[in-house]
Structures are given as structure tokens and as C-alpha cells.
Structure 1
């Protein structure tokens, strides 16, 4: 690459103005990624990608259009600008489209303090292959594991720069390092599968490949010889690995795009209790070494820590500029975007208040019920919050795990379910969604 990302975005803005844009913003992303898959102790698949993408959004009055390209030659950039202008002229008016006022823009742009990029040397493919092979071997070393479906290791590095005609210009970089393993126990129709993985920004924080492989193997063996659980109303404990899905449904329901469309089961719930008292959901986009951290959003607005749910009460929507204008509100600096589309709202790092009880304490408290460790399929009514998902895990009797279960369905209503949650204290603090295991009383199970 002969041009910097900053110079590319600056050039796109120049070309957009020359072509007739009243306002514009540009995004440039370049990066590399390497992925290694191992099977049977040998390299099964290796993939490396390198590339750069640019995106331009132009505004003519209240009309807007976006065009992206992976060709960064000046003539190609000129064509991007001209096509964007031509598209915008044919687009319908959007009364809510527009850039941020310059007075609103972020001034703290020193993203290095968030530690989103590991400056150490990129791991070579041989090192990634060793990690994947070690994870596979560790899983196969667990008694009862018959094969490993896949063991992988990977690395990625991205650089991003955003610039706009309102004067905003800033960039940052991210890195990611991961290991995963999927193990299988049993044979024939009795095979069961489970997994473990870890993904970190810094190599030094990554769990060992051996630990990940052993965990995947042990989990697969524990699922052998499952039964179908009893049909009825029982408490359900959502394991920490999948409990963030419940919070995720709430976050989708308070997304400004859903609220402005009127298609959310929480559309009229602002200021109402949506979680038990004492529980909050906080957003902190400034956490160090967290994958969703950011000092500014995709529209150049400064991010800040805030409560989405405060002491059980819904305290705010997740908004970008356009959806905020639709609702007569101000942006919460939650805009994200890719090179080919305008901004849309999304959360950064969130955390649910942890409880005082351990995972084992909640098992004991539930007495008889279902521990869910994996879920498949999803039937969620976005307007009513009616919830139905396929699940598997373990049946619990007298507060202890009795046997594995599968082929069951959990059903309820999210508004009611979230008001009956009890959190454990086992959340993994490095994740972008810090959510512990959650006990939910009185769900309907469809089993045998």
C-alpha cells in the first residue's frame, strides 16, 4: 500500500465535493488475517487474506448514498465518488440523514490507551499450526473423545480511519488472537459434540492451547448418553457461555433502529422496570483490552460510560444520529458502520451486575430443573418478546447434575423471563459482554 488510510479518506472527500456532494464521510480499512486448521495432527487448511477497502457516503440535500471499493487507485476513487453522487441524486429524501455538527465531535482521539492492539510481532503460520495441533492432541487425550472435528488458531490485524467533511478525522488499529477446538465423543448415532475457544487482543492473555483442547474434550464426554428432559414448568440455569444471549435480546429491543420502527417489545418501556431491582446493565466503551472498545463512534462522536438499565429500570436507547433525530433525541454515540452502508446503532462493551452466589450455589438453589449449555434455532417475536429456542445441557435433581439432556425446547416471554433472573458471580471479565450464569424461574420445557 503506497497511500496512508488518512490520505485515502481525505482524497475521497475531495473527490466527493468536486463531484457535487454537500457533505460526505469516508471510511478506509486495511488488514491481514491468518487462519490455520489442523486435523489428525496435520495441516488441513491454511488461509491468509490481505486487503484494503474504502467506503464513501455522500449527501446532497437530504439524499444520501454509499459506495465501497477495494481498488484504491486515484481513478477508481474518482469513480467511487461519481457513482455515489449519481446514486444519491436518485435516492429518496431522508429527513434524518446528515453528519454531526462540528461542535459535537470527539476531541480525545488517543486510542492507544485502550490497548486494542498488541504491538508484539505477528505469529508466523508455524506457531499457529503448533497451537492448533496442541489443542487437538489435548482433546484426543481425554478418555472418551473419539475424534476432533476441528482445531484452529488464527490472528488478525486491522487499521481503520474515518474522515468527514465536518472536520472529523481519526483512526485506530485492532488485533485479535484466537484458538478453538471442537471435540466429539462416542460413535455412530451416539456421537456428542462440544467446544472451547479463547480470543484475546494480546497474545500474553490467551489461554493455552492445551487447556482449551482438554476443556473441549471434557465437555464433549460429559454430554454422552443424553436423554430428553421432562415436560413441564421448571427453573432453567443458563450457563455463562450462553447467558449473554438473554441480555442480547434486551439489547436488540432497545436498539434505536427497532424503537424508531416501533418493532420492539420494549418500545414503550422507557423508565419502566425491566430487570429485578439491584441489577443494572452498563456500557463502558473505554475498557482496556476489550474487543468492542472505542473512544469515538462511526460518526465521530465521543463515547462515554452509561447505564442502559439502572437498578432494574430501563434508562436509555442505543442511538446513532439518524435514529436519534427520528425519535427527537440526541445520539448516544453508538454508531457503527462498514464501508458499504451508512451508520447504524450498536452497543460496545456491556456488563450485567454480577450476583453474590456462585454457579454451584445457583445449582443448589434451583433444586430440580435444566442447566442449559448450548442452544440451537431461535423463534423470537420482536414485537411481543415471545421466546422459544431449542436447547441441550444437563438435568439437575436435588441441586446436582444428574445426566445430560438434549432435544428439548425452552419457551417463555422475555419481558417476564428477565424480571425473574438471578445472576451468579462467574462472568469472564475480558469479554465485551460480561454476563454471568443466569437462573430463570418458571420456564416451560418441552421434552418427553
Structure 2
């Protein structure tokens, strides 16, 4: 981390010498490795290490961003000179600019977030063992014809500094295991997957259980047919329900609102979810991949209520979109090394219900349980919604047979107001959304 801090300070010095009035810099360093197993053979083994730097310079209301993977002093100087030259030719943006010194984060408890474990990097053999365990467990299930399994590890360090006095960094790591299982052949082939990821290796579930679950899900898809066309209740399984809330968070993103391209432009202070449901963002949750001590502009991270009792309380803002809308940043800036900050939500939590998924299946009577979706046609201005879906047909509250090749459609504003949540959200996910029932959607099938 010391090396990354030195790089960001060197970039700021170079920017000042090149003529920048203000600047911020980012340095990233990471390693990643992955093992892929297919048909019982090692298909791919990869390991990468990289360092990347980025610099944003501001001159008046003009800004420019540059990035590089070469960290030599000569490159830093050229990078700064190029950025300043670009900024002088850039169009003026009255909303661009760094945070004021009284806005920036100065104290945070990085240890409390537990974003990185104090453990050595797993070697390739250990990752291969996990991938093979997942594959073997899936292949042990009768009816499974092929399995693709993977295991991976990553570790990333980030440090940012700015001419307004901000400086800070953190690191995070990740472990993952996944499996895709296939059953049948030709046009009758079906597949499904299972996967898990955690920051701490000790929190990871057993790899064989992941493979067994992928096999179980794939076999349940065998013999899928198109469902009936009509208007039916639709239950979004917990695996895909977060996509509905994702459409909500996209619509309240400050970038979309500032452009005037959001189907929720007139919804501030109005009801967007059923009474009793709230949406909370908390980037300070422990051992969660989306947590962070500060945002991409050095503002402190904080828990905030986005929707309370169904009422939309605010937009998701960085400094620039906040200035354009006449509001304060919500500390939601995200950025990479080659572009300015943009607003982005992290660690969102939807209120869970009291009923189980099985209770909602029973209550829906006849309809569709969606377990996977493909494609997306979402009108950003009207909220009109259409997606390809597959899952299971439900009759009299019981799952009867698998279905595929169907389309579900509606309008997001109306859909979100009719959500009925289950109580099955998984606690370790960054976005915690339970299974969600909507009492009536248009279904296009056979």
C-alpha cells in the first residue's frame, strides 16, 4: 500500500508542475488467479498481476482523465503533461470539481469492515482441488452429462489522493467457486448453475455442495416447455429478484436523473414501493464485497435510507450530479483509473417479508416461478419492462413442470408498487433482496 500511496503523490506533484489547478489520482494493484475444469480435464489456469494508475486534472471548469500501466517517473511526467493539454481543450463543465476540504473523509475504521483476510494467497493446486470437488459432486448425480467448474481468488489494493488534502486506501480479497451442470442432449439439453463467493476462505461453503446444487437445478430443468400465454402471478426467485431492485436503483441514479432519462423523474417524495417496504444502502457492512470506507471522491461512506415505508427519499449522487441537481452528494461516487467519477449504489437491503417462498407459491395459485432471465428491454423514460424468462409452472400452489422460452412484461412503476417479499434473502450478498411476488404480469408463451 505504501508504494501505491507514493505513486498517487507523485502523480499529484507531476500534475501541479504541468499546470493543473486541481487533481486527483488513483493507483490500483491486484492479483487474480482462476482454474477452470471441463469434462474432467483442466481447461484453463490463469494468474495475472497488474498495477494501474489514473490521473484526473482540472483547469477552471475543464477536466481530463488519463491512465497507464507503466509507473516509471518519466511516464508519470508525460501522463500529467498529456492530461493538462487535454483539459485545456476539453469543454467547460460547471459541475466538475473536487470536494471541499471540509467534505472529505479523514477518519475511518478499516479493520471493522474486514475487507481482506490475513492469510496467504491460495496456490493453483488448492484452487484446482476445489474446482474438481465441485465437478465430481455434480457428475455423481445421475442424469448429469457434463460439468464446467471454476475456482478463483483475487486480491486488490486501491489508493487515492487529491489536491484537496484527501488520501486513503484499502484492500479487499475474494474467493469463489462455481459450477454449471448439463443434462440431456441436442435440443433437449438443459443447464443450470450454482456459485458462491466470499471475502474470507473460512466463510466459503463446501465446494462439493456447490456442485451438487448445480446438478439438482439442472435436472429440475429437464423437459422444459413453453408456458401458457396470459396474465398470471409471477414469483421472482431470490436468485433473480435483485434485478427488479436494480432497475429501481438505476432509475434513481443521479446520472440518469440529471440527463432527464428516468421513469422516476417525478417520484421524489412519492411512493415507489408498497407501504411497509424500505430500501437501505449501507456501504459499511462487515465482510461484504460492496463495502468501502469512502467513495471515489474521498467522501465518507455512510448508511442511508433510500426508500422509507415505500416513499422515495433521495437520488444516488456524486459531487457533479449533486451540483447539477442542486443537492449534496450522497457519497456514492465510483470511479476507475480512466474516467471521471459517476454515481453508484452499493450494499442495498430491501425489507424482507414474513412469508417463506413456499408460502408465496401456495398463495399465488397458478402462475410462473422465474429462476433465470435473459435479454432485457427496459424503456428508461417510461419503465416499460420486457424480459425473456425461464423457470417453473405453478398449479394450485405447487411446482408442476419446468418452462422456458417465454417473455414476461409489465411496467416497472406498477410492478414495484405490487411487490410481496418473502423472507429468504441471503445475508452475505451485497444486494440483499428476497424472492418477490407480483400478482399479475403479462406472460407470452405458447
Band of TM-score, shorter chain: over 0.9
Aligned match of 1:308 in 306, 309, 334? Answer: 306
Q: Are 1:142 and 2:148 matched, yes or no?
A: no
Which residue of structure 2 lines up, in the alignment, with residue 441 of structure 1?
Answer: 439
Helix, strand or coil: the match of 1:302? coil
Helix, strand or coil: the match of 1:7? helix
Helix, strand or coil: the match of 2:301? coil
Equivalent residues in 2 for 1:42-441, closer than 5 Å = 42-148=41-147, 150-441=148-439
Helix, strand or coil: the match of 1:396? strand
Helix, strand or coil: the match of 1:250? helix
1:303 Cα deviation (Å)?
1.4
CA distance in 2, matches of 1:262, 1:379: 19
Helix, strand or coil: the match of 1:317? coil
1:280 Cα deviation (Å)?
0.3
CA distance in 1, matches of 2:109, 2:123: 29
1:188 Cα deviation (Å)?
1.7
CA distance in 2, matches of 1:178, 1:234: 37
Helix, strand or coil: the match of 1:113? helix
CA distance in 2, matches of 1:21, 1:285: 32
CA distance in 1, matches of 2:110, 2:263: 36
CA distance in 1, matches of 2:116, 2:365: 45
Helix, strand or coil: the match of 2:404? strand
Helix, strand or coil: the match of 1:4? helix
1:401 Cα deviation (Å)?
0.1
Helix, strand or coil: the match of 1:117? coil
* Uncovered stretches (5+) of structure 2, i.e. residues with no partner: none
Helix, strand or coil: the match of 2:239? coil
**Which consecutive aligned stretches of 4+ in structure 1 deviate over 6 angstroms post-superposition?**
none
Deviations 1:248-295 (A, max 9, x none): 000000000000000000011000000000000000111000111112
1:11 Cα deviation (Å)?
0.3
Deviations 1:360-391 (A, max 9, x none): 00000100000000000000000000000000
CA distance in 1, matches of 2:191, 2:353: 30
CA distance in 2, matches of 1:356, 1:143: 36
Deviations 1:200-220 (A, max 9, x none): 000011111100000000000
CA distance in 2, matches of 1:17, 1:110: 31
CA distance in 1, matches of 2:140, 2:268: 52
Q: Are 1:38 and 2:37 matched, yes or no?
A: yes
1:189 Cα deviation (Å)?
1.3
CA distance in 1, matches of 2:108, 2:302: 13
CA distance in 1, matches of 2:108, 2:64: 27
Equivalent residues in 2 for 1:17-36, closer than 5 Å = 17-36=16-35
CA distance in 2, matches of 1:314, 1:365: 29
1:108/1:295 contact within 8 Å kept = no
CA distance in 1, matches of 2:234, 2:97: 46
2:106/2:166 contact within 8 Å kept = no
CA distance in 2, matches of 1:396, 1:341: 47
CA distance in 2, matches of 1:134, 1:420: 42
1:24/1:164 contact within 8 Å kept = yes
CA distance in 2, matches of 1:432, 1:122: 23
2:184/2:222 contact within 8 Å kept = yes
CA distance in 1, matches of 2:316, 2:200: 29
CA distance in 2, matches of 1:346, 1:119: 29
1:109 Cα deviation (Å)?
2.9
Helix, strand or coil: the match of 1:104? coil
CA distance in 1, matches of 2:144, 2:57: 56
Paired positions, count: 446
Equivalent residues in 2 for 1:7-22, closer than 5 Å = 7-22=6-21
Helix, strand or coil: the match of 2:136? helix
CA distance in 1, matches of 2:276, 2:355: 14
1:44 Cα deviation (Å)?
1.0
1:282/1:309 contact within 8 Å kept = yes
